[in-house]
Chain A
Amino acid sequence: MSWGQRKGRALWPAAVVASASLMLAACGGDDDDGGDGEGAQEVPAEEASGEFEFFSWWTGGGDSEGKQALLDLFQEQFPEVEVIDAAVAGGAGTNAQAVLASRLGSGEPPDSYQRHAGAELLSDIRDGFVEDLTWLYEEEGWMEVFPESLLEQITVDDAIYSVPVNIHRSNLIWWNPAVLDEAGIDGPPGSWDEFLSQAEALEGAGKTALTIGPLWTQEHLLENVLLGELGPEAYAGLWNGETDWESAEVVAALDMFIQVLGHSNIDQAAADWQPAIDPIVDGDAAYNVMGDWAWAYYETVQGLAFEEGYNVTESPGTEGTFNWLSDSFTLPVDAPDRDNAIRWLQLAGSQEGQDTFNPVKGSIPARTDPDESLYTGYFQMPLEDWSNADTAIVGSLAHGAVADNAWKGEIDSALQEFVSSGDSAAFAAAVAQAYQDTRE
């Protein structure tokens, strides 16, 4: 699944083309904005024609099948429309973003493109590349079917600019039940403190307590340690300036992160998230914190049975909290086939569309009214939690929901240093400073 493969592989030629055409675009002068799409257009159902180009980074297993299922459904409903699938390989968008940046910059947007919902879309919004879709939400009645807190988190200045199609969960801890048995541990830790004491027992039994991969997986762990230690409210405040990064609580949570890392195999960090999971499958390690795309790896690649070969629950201290990340589709300004793009978004936001896409992709719908029979095994847990109004919903840092690209870039740099120095105060100060520096 390409969520995990992010930053793994990329196509250099495409990148070169991207940067070259970006230069050309810049030299050619700025394209002015077209009609800022205010107001709903009447979209006739049957006589739709013309083209529809959808831009995504979904080329891997699961992802690309899910996208294909949705494109097929679209084609079925609008047989006269010529569907163009513009997918750029390279994981969760490192390379796709470069290509997309050049196309947006040169005023040649696709009809719709994929972005992580939330802060990752902020640059596009500020630069005026995407249309306000609030009218579509109202027209389709989506304000009622998406969770209120999700809508809140993707609203920018009272407007919503994208349609979330799926939800992945970040705050999960995966483990090998046999390894816990061997070390005489009853179940997964309920807090990171408990994890630390379990880790001693696991290491006593010759096991690695926690496995880890490249920088983004470390960031993924960091966000979930922060969430577990600070609770959803203070965690959410980290991203809008309400929680002080340099406060004693946050620094203590960062210290906890370093202690947790101390019980991981960070010195032998795997090159990607799948090899990070392998020691757990092999019975050499106990825990791994990863999003629910890992489900497909355990289930289909490793052929393990849920609750027997592997098990999963909320990461320590995050029960009743849902740390989300989501793919969403946009309506670019000056989309060449705007009517088809709107039809596409209507389908992507519909119950039928989301129930077509998600079971294949291996995620749950962003809507709270799915056909529950389609989501079995592991997926019952996130589905139930997502629809539960009492669940606290917070966004993921590592996957673009809460920090815009500029700030997240600085956090990545600071984290690189933090992981090697272990200096929590310096990291907190750097992140807080970067927050100030990257406000516009």
Chain B
Amino acid sequence: MYRLRRWGPAILLISPSLVLIGVFVYGFLGWNVTVSLSDWRGLRPSYDYIGFENYTRLAEDGRFTNSVGNVIVFTVVFVLGALFVGFFLAYLLERRIRGDGFFRAMFLFPMAISLIAVAIIWRWLMNNSTGAQQTGLNRLFSSIGLDFLVNDWFKADQPFAVMAVAIAAGWALSGYIMALFLAGMRGVSDDLREAARVDGASEWRVFWHVVTPMLLAVLMSAVVILVHISFKTFDLIFAMDSESRLIETPAIYMWFTTFDAFNFNRGAAIATLLMVGVSAVIVPYIWYSMRAERRQ
């Protein structure tokens, strides 16, 4: 009785969200997996079990394997790039230069722009047309005599094309990573820094040996956020050059095979694989942070 009185209200209060998450997240997740094992093609749902056929077919599907290669390159370049740039910007702003509030807002601003708009901007900037149609970066480079920098961007050969898309994605999100790191750096207590300085450490060594080790948790969450965004990126790539083999990722292929060709089972299989990929990153993180919390 005592237990019920203690837990009852709490359970009652969270039950609406438990039910909603149960249905709309885990229920549909399970439903998606069911569809991925079914023979559902065409507009009318069909749930006849056909085993892992959709998955084995994907393994032999050149368009799918190509898109997996693209998303791996995209993720590596985008995540490392955004981490490096974000960290560097945070390092600079951490020294409380004049007008750091202005710079912070400026670097964070690209995140406020929808990825569709980002794609339209960068599609123009990285247009590889020549002659009268030349625009954006290539035009800038050739007009200031840096012709060797003129290149094909997202129409270059694989794997370079998708790296160009990663630049646009990095541009949009490194400000956010900067904000994460900056918050982490400012969270390091001044006492610790003072202590190191008293011990005769230079400013650089204070930063490297005192501040950065405490940023590990920030780094972990930044990586998790970036990787799961990267796996799922759709709008940016779709708007930049849809159905281009050079930059297509599984998320794009999933859309086309589901809603253009009505292969709902294949689309669901790709969605399931994406979920597995994202979980492979997120689950160890959750496990790690829960263990860390328990230790405290």
Contact = CB atoms under 8 A, between A and B. Distances in A.
Interface of A: 7, 9-10, 12, 15, 23, 25-27, 30, 94-95, 97-98, 101, 104-105, 123-124, 126-129, 214-216, 265, 267-271, 278-279, 282, 284, 405-406, 408-410, 412-413, 416-417, 419-420
Given A7-B243, A214-B242, A416-B245, A30 B44 contact: yes
A268 B129 CA distance: 6
Nearest to B57: A437
Given A104-B43, A413-B63, A405 B262 contact: yes
A278 B132 CA distance: 10
B212 interface: no
Given A417-B63, A420-B245, 7 more contacts: A26-B35, A124-B43, A129-B44, A215-B243, A268-B128, A278-B133, A416-B248
5 contacts: A26-B31, A267-B155, A279-B133, A284-B133, A408-B260
A214 B241 contact: yes
B143 interface: no
Contact of B123 (A30, A267, A271, A412): A271
Contacts of A279: 131-133
Given A124-B43, A413-B63, A214 B243 contact: yes
Interface of B: 27-28, 31, 35, 41-45, 61-63, 66, 116, 123, 128-133, 152, 155, 235, 238-239, 241-245, 248, 256-257, 259-263
Nearest to A129: B43
Contact of B261 (A23, A126, A409): A409
A406 B133 contact: no
A15 B261 CA distance: 15
B263 A406 contact: yes
A408 to B, nearest CB: 7
B132 A282 contact: yes
B227 to A, nearest CB: 21
A130 B5 CA distance: 58
Contact of A215 (B129, B235, B244): B244
Given A215-B243, A268-B129, A420-B245, A409 B45 contact: no
B42 A409 contact: no
Nearest to B27: A27
Contacts of A406: 41-42, 261-263
A98 B261 contact: no
A278 B135 CA distance: 14
Nearest to A219: B243
Contacts of B42: 123, 126-127, 406
Nearest to B47: A26
A105 B44 contact: yes
B64 to A, nearest CB: 9
Nearest to B45: A26
A30 B260 contact: no
Contacts of A271: 123, 241
Contact of B259 (A94, A105, A126, A265): A94
Contacts of A98: 259
B243 A409 contact: no
Contacts of A405: 260-262
B254 to A, nearest CB: 11
Contacts of A416: 63, 243-245, 248
